[in-house]
Amino acid sequence: MRSTYQPLSAHVSSELAKGRSILNEDIEGIAKSVLEYIHEHPGCHLRQVRNDLAISMGTVQYHLGRLENAGRITSNRHGLYKYYFPIGLFQDAEKSLLEILSQETAREIVMFIIEEKNPTQTDIVNKMNVSSASISWHVTRLVEFGIISEIKEGKYKRYQLRGNPKDLMLLMKSYYPSLWDRWSNRLAEMFLSLSAPEEKGS
C-alpha cells in the first residue's frame, strides 16, 4: 500500500530547482542524456524516455539499468510501468504526484476534480468521454495512491483532492511547464481563492 499524500516539505522549492541542475560529471554520452532527461522529467517511464530521446528500447533499458545500479536514479513499478526519478530528491507523496502528471488520463481526472470540486464518477465519465470501466480503474488507483479521497453522499460517491492543490501545481510548474501554461488560466479563479487567506494573514 502506498503512503497517503502529505504536504510538500518546506525545502521542496529549492530541492526542485537543485534537482534540475545536479548532474554527475563522470556520466557521458547516451547515459548522460538519459540522466539529464530524468532530472528534467521526474516520474517519466521507459517508453516516454525512448520516444522523446529517439533511442531504441534496448538502449534505453540498458542505460536505465546502469544508472539505477550505480545509485544515480531510483524507480517505482506500478503494473506494466516503471517510473524513474533522480535519487534523493523526492518524497513518496511527491513521486506519486509526478507519476500522475506523466499519465494523461489520470492527470485529466485529477485536474477535473480540482476544477469542479467533489464531482461524482458519472460527472468524470461525462467530462472525459472515456469508458466508465477505465475511469473506475483510474479513480481506484488515485484513491489507493492517496492522491484523492472518496466521500459517500447517499447513493453517490464524490471525489476530492487530498492535501493542498498548490503542491501539485508547484510540481507541474517546475517539471511540466506546457501543462502549467494550459491549466493555469483554467484554474486562475481557484488559485485566487486559495491565496486570499494567505494575503489576509500576511
* Residue 70: inside a domain: yes
What range does the domain containing 183 cover? 91-188
How many folded domains does the chain comprise?
2
Residue 174 or 184, more confident? 174
Q: Is residue 46 part of a domain?
A: yes
User: CA dist 185 to 34, 116, 171, 190, 192, Å?
Assistant: 32, 15, 17, 10, 11
Q: For residue 6, what pLDDT is reported?
A: 45
**pLDDT tens sequence across 140-160:** 989 988 889 999 888 889 999
Same domain? For 180 and 142 the reply is yes
Domain termination residue (choose one: 65, 90, 115): 90
Please indicate, yes or no, whether residues 182 and 95 belong to a single structural domain of this protein: yes
Grid coordinates standing for 50?
A: 525512448
Whether residues 104 and 172 share a domain: the answer is yes
Residue 166 lies inside a defined structural domain of this protein? yes
Q: What is the CATH number of the domain that holds 97?
A: 1.10.10.10
% helix / strand / coil in the chain, to the nearest 5?
A: 60, 15, 25
